[in-house]
Structure 1
Amino acid sequence: MRGFGLVGLSATGFGLMPVFAVHAYGDGLTVPTLLFLRFAIAAALFLPCAWWYARRRGGLRVTRGDLLRVALLGGVLYAAQSTLYFSAVRHISPALAALILYVYPALVACGAAAIGKERPTAAVVGSVVVTLCGVALALGRLGGGLSAVGIGEAVGAAVVYTVYILYGDRLGAGGLPPVALTGLVSLFAALSFLGYGAVRGQLSFGFREAGWVPVVCVALGSTVVAILCFFAGMALLGPTKASLGSMLEPVVSIVAAAALLPGSALTALQLLGAALVLVGASVGVLAQRRPAVRAVAGGGS
C-alpha cells in the first residue's frame, strides 16, 4: 500500500500542475518564465541529491557523451514538450490538455514496436484504437468552442514526449541513476528556457507577488516532490504497477479543473472519452515487456 500511496501522491502533484500553471498566467507569468523557474528550482534541489547519491555509491562517472545526450534530452526534447503542454493550457481546459497528453503510453508502445524494441502485438494495436476513440469522444466536433491551436499543442506535446521517453529510456539504461539524470535534464531545460526567454524577450520577473505561490507549487509539489515520490513508489512496486498508478494523473487534472477553474468541467461525453483514454493508456503500459522509466516523470509534466 505504501508504494501505491507514493505513486498516487506523485500523480496528484503532476495532475495539479496545469491548474497551477493557469493561476500563474493569471498573475502575469509568461510560459518561458514559469518553466525557467520550475526547472531552475528543480535542478537546484536534484543536483545535490545526485551528488549525495554518488558519494554513497563511491562516485558517479558522467562522460562528455552522456552530457551531450542529456543536453538533447533536457534542453531540446523536454523543453519542447513542456513548452507545448504549458502553452496548450492557455488555450484549452487543463483537463482536456492532460487527457490528450495521455495518448503517449499508446504512442510509446507503437514507437517501441516501430524501432524494433518490442514486437507489435494485438494489445498494442488495441491500445491505440481505444485511445484514439477516447480522444475523438473527448474532442467532439472541432468547431464547438475548442481551440485548434490548443489541441495541436497538446497533441504535439504527446508526440514529443513519446520521443523523449524512448530516447530517455535508452539513455537511462546506460548507467546514469534516475536522480542524476533528472537533475541534469532539469539543469539543461532551465538553461534552454533562460536562453529562449532572453532572446525572445519573454523572460520577465515583474509578475505579481502572488505569482510565486503557483511557481512554488509547480516547482516543488508538481516537480520535485512528485518525481521523488514516483521513483520511491516505483522502487517498491516495479515500473509496470507504478506506471499504471500514474494513470491517476489526468483524473486529478479533470477533477481539479472542474473544482478550481470555472468553465473547465468536461461534459458527460468527454468524461466517457477520458475513461477510454485511460483504458487505452493502461493497455499501452501493459503491452510493453518493460515499461519505459521516465527520466523526468509525469506530464509535463
Structure 2
Amino acid sequence: MSSILETISAISARELAASAARARDLVAGGMHGLGRAVVDLVYPPACLVCYAATAEPRALCASCWGRLRLIERPYCERLGTPFSVDIGKGLLSPAAIANPPVYERARAVARYDDVARALAHRLKYGDRLDLAATIGGWMARAGAELLAEADLIVPVPLHRRRLWARRFNQAALLADAVGRRAGKRVDAFLLARRRHTRPQVGLSRAERQSNLSGAFLVPEEAKARLADLRVLLVDDVLTTGSTADMAARALLRGGAKAVDVLVFARVVHDGFATT
C-alpha cells in the first residue's frame, strides 16, 4: 500500500511541476527586467525534462543535459550520423553510399533516445509548445552550415485532418524558431500533404515508403516561390528518412535547386543509420 501511495505522490509531484512550468511560461511570455524577476520568484525555473530546479528558464538540468546524446563531428557528411572513431573529414557512411537519400545533407541535434524522446513527445503530444523555442535554438546551432547556404526554410506539413486533431504542426513551430534564430525566411505553405497517411510509428522502411508514396506536392501556385532555391526541410524526428525523402522529392519536382534536412533528433543504430 505504501509503495502505491509513494508512486501516486511522485506522479502528482511531477504533474504539479509540469503545470507550474507551463504556467510560468504563459505568465513570463514577453516579460523582461523586474517583471521577469517576479515571475522567477513565484515560478522558479525548472528542467524541461525532469522539472528539477535550473538556473535559467527553458533549459535542462545538468543531469538531463548530460544524458542528451548530442551528435557532433566526426559524422557522415551526407546523413549526419556519427562515426565511433574519427576517420577524417568529408567521408560517407556505408548507409549513405549503399542507399543515398534524395536530400543532399541531414543534420540533427541529438540521438533519438531518453531525453530527446521525452522532449519530442512533450512538444508533439503534450501541448508543450513552449519547447519549440529552446529546441529550435539547438537546431539552429546544429544546422549552422546548412542554414548558411539555405534560401528558404520549409517544415514537413501535416495533412489537414491530423492538423485539425492536433491543432498545431510541431515541424512548423520548429521551423519558425529556427528561422527567427537564423534570420531566414520560412514558408509553411509551400509544401502540402495531399493524402492522409496512417502514423509511421511501428512501420518498416518499405512500409513507410509505401505509406508516404504520393503524399506530398508543391501546389501549382507555390512553384514560383520555390524556383531554383536551396531549401532547408525541417522536422522534429528522423527515423528511417522516408518522410524526408518523399518531401524532398516533391520539393525538387516543384522546382527546388537542392534540399537539405534539419531535425531535432534522429534514430542511430551502432553509429550508423538507415536512410
TM range (shorter): under 0.3
The structure with more strand, counted as a fraction of residues: 2
The structure with more helix, counted as a fraction of residues: 1
**Structure showing greater relative contact order (alpha-carbon pairs closer than 8 Å, 6 or more residues apart):** 1
TM-score, scaled to structure 2: 0.27
